[in-house]
């Protein structure tokens, strides 16, 4: 590698502040994807600093390098196979004993390691003092202190990492954990045997390889069989003999014994370098949890936070939404005046701008929603919500850990479905996947905003909250039903780490918000644009239809009538007459467009599907919009915009007016919102269900079940509301 190019990998426990430090270093210069072959998120950032081009890799959070979970395998494989120039271990200084376990495993690897004691301010607040110089001497590893959420120590971290990368030193022997005599003898014997048989051609450091083999590491065993050729089986047989000897000696599995000895080593280190003040310190997180996780207050507070999130999304988002709305309207009016009447003009105004413009106005609402979700995550409240939901989730045979993918579903169902991989039980995974689509994703939010805003006024935020709450309730009922029928099984045990509360960094919140919102913008340029053009084409053709009345003659009669009135009127009344004339001409033109849409290809499709949606109070336009929502839920709004010929004016207000004019009522709007909440997931979510369950059967079942539930619930809402006298 060129000397000016360095790769720095950030490792650490979950909730150690690793991602905050990564965001501080890289800012918005990040690339997010998946690691090859797995759905675990891969974050990579590039910066130029101190004359070096630095590639920063944010490894998945992990408690150890023992390959139990996908995250641990990804983190370890990257360090072993990609060999970054420096591995930076982000250590939670306020929870040193737990964090040092991963640190001791990294020390055993043949790589350059830098220890970063993060959240040093929190440790000081708790009366804990850590001697960083002594820790560095004892472990022979450079140590720096940081406060990630205040951006303190980041420059020192980078300088130290670069210095370490450029230092030409070998990993010293004293960095190794000194195990008990029997363990050390077994390690040395196996190490010598491997070196003798392979002539040092093993892919990894032989001492580390020996330790992993004695711990019965399946991945290392497979690699030894592949790399050691004829001697691989011999090495594994020797390993098994040594493991058997250790089991007889300790009456326990060697892996457990070695883990205990690592923790003993850590306990000795902590006694040397950490002192705790006898003065009692206030544990802020514990005091906050006395309220937020209280058995009586916790759940109502959680519901209030969710309600406040959607109320804020609707009310605060109204202002920038109006600005974008006005901008889209201005572009439409300007192009309408500049371009001559033609098919291209119709495509541009009634197809692209009406379709995409009617969705892009909701970008501020999406940004606010994702900002709130990032706030829950970065403050530590997301884990509390899973803890609070644990008892409720047990009603359906799941545990609080399953609620985290469901909460992620508020943002997007695709990563939420992928997140079920962290669940240990296959039945738990499938059950969580089946109920997650009932959690209303951000793609459905524009539909709620346009309908709730048009028909429920100041109560729109509360109505949207009720829709989301309905999704949660139905997911619980569905889970209970499936757990007692299709997916019988015992409850899995649940232990959830509750990280300390932290003041989130605005920069980190904005990066998280933007990362997720980029997906929405990408849809604007791909799925929604293409979908809007297709919908416009289906509604614009055939061009020549047989109208029930002669609209041109009607327009001429209106013009003639008002011309006579204008000629006879004085100057003071002419503006009012002109306004009435424009309104009547607009109404005639709207009537012509409505009849054309009804007799177009999409109108014919709508007429066929109309009987299916009529009992729900949804007209043929709404039915067509729901059918197109199979591709992406945002297209529901753009389809309504195209079908109602909204394109040359203030789009969202015009669409709301058009919905009123088309006969939609608050009750039918609520029915449509319920149907959008529950019916079949979008195309991407269906593909994720197929991939994660590995079954077309479960994918088809999810489509059929969710759509059936959607129709039944929308029917109950509409017909029940009519019986109660609502409209």
- What is the SS3 assignment for 152? strand
The per-residue pLDDT for 299 is 85
Q: Are the CB atoms for 187 and 215 separated by under 8 Å?
A: no
CA distances from 463 to 157, 319, 625 (A): 49, 19, 21
**Fold of the 5-175 domain:** Rossmann fold (3.40.50)
Q: For residue 485, what are the β-bridge partners? A: none
| Residue 491 DSSP label | P
Phi, psi values for residue 631, rounded to 5°: -70, -55
Residue 174 has a pLDDT of 54
Q: Determine the average pLDDT of the residues in 129-134.
A: 89
pLDDT tens string 519-541:
677 766 777 778 778 878 887 88
Stronger pLDDT, 278 or 654, i.e. the higher one: 654
Average pLDDT for residues 640-657, to the nearest whole number?
67
The torsion angles phi and psi of 300, rounded to 5 degrees, stand at -60, -35
> Can you tell me the mean pLDDT for 299-308?
86
587-643 per-position pLDDT tens digit: 888 778 778 878 888 888 888 988 999 999 999 889 988 988 887 787 888 788 777
Distances in whole angstroms, Cα of residue 213 to Cα of each of 62, 208, 239: 21, 9, 7
Contacting residues for 366 by C-beta, under 8 A, at least 6 apart: 442, 445, 517, 520
Residue 225 pLDDT: 80
Tokens of 93: 């200084």
Q: DSSP class of residue 109?
A: S
What is the Cα–Cα distance from 638 to 447, expressed in whole angstroms?
A: 10
Q: Mean of the pLDDT values across residues 399-427?
A: 74
CATH fold of 181-276, please?
Helix Hairpins (1.10.287)
**Helix (H), strand (E), coil (C) string for 312-341:** HHHHHHHHHHHHHHHHHHHHHHHHHHHCCC
User: What does pLDDT average to over the chain?
Assistant: 82
Q: What does the buried/exposed string (b/e) look like for 445-454 if buried means 16 or more CB atoms within 10 Å of the residue's CB?
A: bbbbbbbbbb
446: its two tokens: 């524009």
Tokens of 678: 């529950």
Q: Answer yes or no: are the C-beta atoms of 314 and 460 closer than 8 Å.
A: yes
pLDDT value at 386 more than 80: no
Question: Could you report the per-residue pLDDT of 421-453, keeping only the tens digit for each?
Answer: 667 677 888 888 898 889 888 788 888 988 998
**Confidence at residue 28, expressed as pLDDT on a 0 to 100 scale:** 63
* CA-closest candidate to residue 343, choices 543, 534, 528, 538: 543
> Quick check: 494 pLDDT over 70?
no
pTM strictly above 0.75:
no
CB atoms under 10 Å from CB of 279, counted, come to 6
Per-residue pLDDT at 648? 44
Sort strands 128-130 and 274-276 into parallel, antiparallel or unpaired.
Answer: antiparallel
658 secondary structure, DSSP code: H
Cα–Cα distances in angstroms (integers) from residue 691 to residues 211, 340, 698, in the given order: 36, 49, 10
| Domain parsing of the chain, residue ranges | 5-175, 181-276, 544-599
pLDDT band at residue 32 under the 50/70/90 scheme: low
Taking the mean position of all CA atoms in its chain, how far away is CA 254? 39
CA distance 418 to 178: 40
Q: What percent of the chain shows pLDDT beyond 90?
A: 15
8 Å CB contact between 443 and 634: yes
**DSSP-assigned states of every residue in 164-186:** HHH---PPPGGGS----HHHHHH
Selected residue with higher pLDDT from 414 and 265 = 265
Instruction: Indicate whether 183 pLDDT > 60.
Output: yes
Query: Please, which residues bridge with residue 31 across strands?
Result: 44
Contact between 141 and 86 under an 8 Å Cβ cutoff? The reply is no
Give tens-digit pLDDT for 681-713: 887 788 888 888 888 999 999 999 999 999 999
Contact 508/27 with Cβ under 8 angstroms? no
3-state DSSP assignment of residue 525? helix
Q: Mean pLDDT across the stretch 482-499? A: 69
Distance CA 474, CA 453 (A): 24
Q: Which of 185-194, 385-394, 606-615 has the lowest mean pLDDT?
A: 385-394
């Amino acid at each position: 590698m060129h000397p000016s190019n360095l790769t720095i990998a950030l490792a650490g426990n979950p909730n150690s502040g690793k991602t905050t430090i990564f965001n501080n270093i890289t800012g918005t210069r990040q690339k997010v994807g998946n690691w090859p072959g797995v759905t675990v998120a891969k974050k990579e950032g590039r910066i130029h600093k101190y004359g070096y081009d630095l590639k920063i890799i944010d490894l998945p959070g992990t408690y150890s390098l023992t390959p139990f979970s996908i995250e641990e395998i990804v983190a370890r494989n990257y360090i072993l196979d990609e060999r970054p120039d420096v591995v930076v271990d982000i250590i939670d200084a306020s929870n040193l004993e737990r964090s040092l376990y991963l640190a001791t495993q990294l020390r055993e690897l043949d790589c350059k390691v830098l220890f970063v004691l993060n959240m040093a301010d929190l440790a000081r607040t708790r009366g804990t003092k850590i001697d960083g110089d002594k820790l560095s001497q004892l472990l022979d590893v450079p140590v720096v202190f940081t406060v990630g959420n205040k951006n303190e120590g980041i420059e020192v971290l980078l300088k130290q990492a670069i210095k370490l990368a450029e230092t030409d030193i070998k990993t010293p022997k004293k960095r190794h954990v000194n195990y008990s005599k029997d363990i050390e003898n077994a390690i040395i014997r196996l190490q010598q045997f491997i070196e003798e048989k392979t002539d040092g051609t093993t892919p990894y450091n032989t001492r580390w390889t020996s330790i992993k083999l004695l711990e019965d590491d399946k991945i290392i065993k497979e690699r030894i069989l592949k790399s050691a050729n004829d001697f691989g089986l011999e090495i594994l047989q020797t390993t098994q003999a040594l493991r058997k000897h250790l089991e007889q000696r300790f009456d326990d599995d060697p892996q457990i014994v070695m883990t205990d000895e690592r923790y003993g080593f850590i306990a000795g280190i902590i006694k040397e370098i950490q002192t705790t003040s006898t003065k009692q310190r206030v544990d802020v997180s514990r005091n906050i949890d006395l309220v937020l996780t209280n058995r009586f207050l916790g759940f109502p507070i959680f519901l209030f936070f969710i309600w406040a999130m959607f109320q804020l999304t609707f009310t605060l988002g109204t202002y920038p939404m109006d600005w974008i709305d006005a901008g889209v309207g201005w572009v439409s009016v300007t192009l309408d005046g500049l371009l001559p009447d033609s098919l291209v003009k119709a495509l541009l105004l009634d197809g692209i701008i009406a379709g995409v413009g009617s969705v892009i106005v909701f970008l501020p609402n999406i940004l606010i929603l994702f900002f709130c979700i990032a706030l829950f995550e970065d403050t530590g409240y997301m884990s509390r919500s899973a803890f609070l939901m644990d008892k409720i989730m047990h009603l359906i045979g799941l545990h609080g850990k399953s609620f985290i993918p469901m909460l992620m579903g508020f943002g997007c169902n695709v990563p939420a479905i992928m997140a079920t991989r962290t669940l240990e039980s296959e039945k738990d995974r499938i059950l969580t996947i089946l109920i997650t689509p009932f959690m209303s994703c951000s793609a459905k939010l524009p539909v709620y905003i346009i309908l709730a805003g048009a028909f429920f006024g100041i109560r729109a935020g509360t109505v949207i909250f009720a829709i989301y709450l309905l999704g949660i309730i139905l997911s619980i009922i569905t889970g209970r039903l499936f757990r007692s029928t299709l997916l019988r099984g015992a409850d899995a045990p649940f232990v959830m780490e509750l990280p300390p509360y932290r003041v989130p960094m605005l920069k980190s919140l904005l990066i998280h918000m933007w990362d997720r919102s980029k997906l929405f913008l990408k849809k604007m340029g791909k799925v929604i644009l293409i979908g809007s053009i297709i919908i416009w084409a289906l509604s614009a053709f055939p061009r020549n239809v047989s109208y029930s009345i002669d609209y041109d003659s009607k327009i001429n009669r209106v013009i003639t009538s008002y011309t006579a009135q204008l000629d006879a009127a004085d100057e003071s009344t002419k503006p009012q007459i002109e306004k009435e004339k424009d309104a009547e001409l607009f109404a005639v033109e709207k009537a012509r467009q409505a009849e054309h849409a009804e007799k177009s290809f999409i109108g014919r499709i709508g007429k066929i599907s109309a009987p299916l949606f009529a009992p729900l109070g949804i007209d043929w336009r709404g039915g067509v919009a729901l059918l197109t929502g199979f591709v992406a839920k945002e297209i529901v709004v753009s389809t309504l915009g195209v079908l109602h010929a909204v394109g040359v004016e203030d789009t969202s207000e015009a669409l709301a007016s058009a919905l009123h004019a088309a006969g939609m009522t608050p009750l039918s709007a609520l029915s449509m919102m319920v149907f959008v909440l529950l019916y079949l997931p979008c195309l991407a979510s269906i593909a994720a269900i197929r991939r994660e369950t590995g079954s077309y059967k479960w994918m088809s079942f999810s489509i059929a079940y969710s759509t059936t539930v959607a129709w039944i619930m929308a029917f109950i809402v509409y017909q029940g509301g009519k019986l109660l006298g609502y409209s």
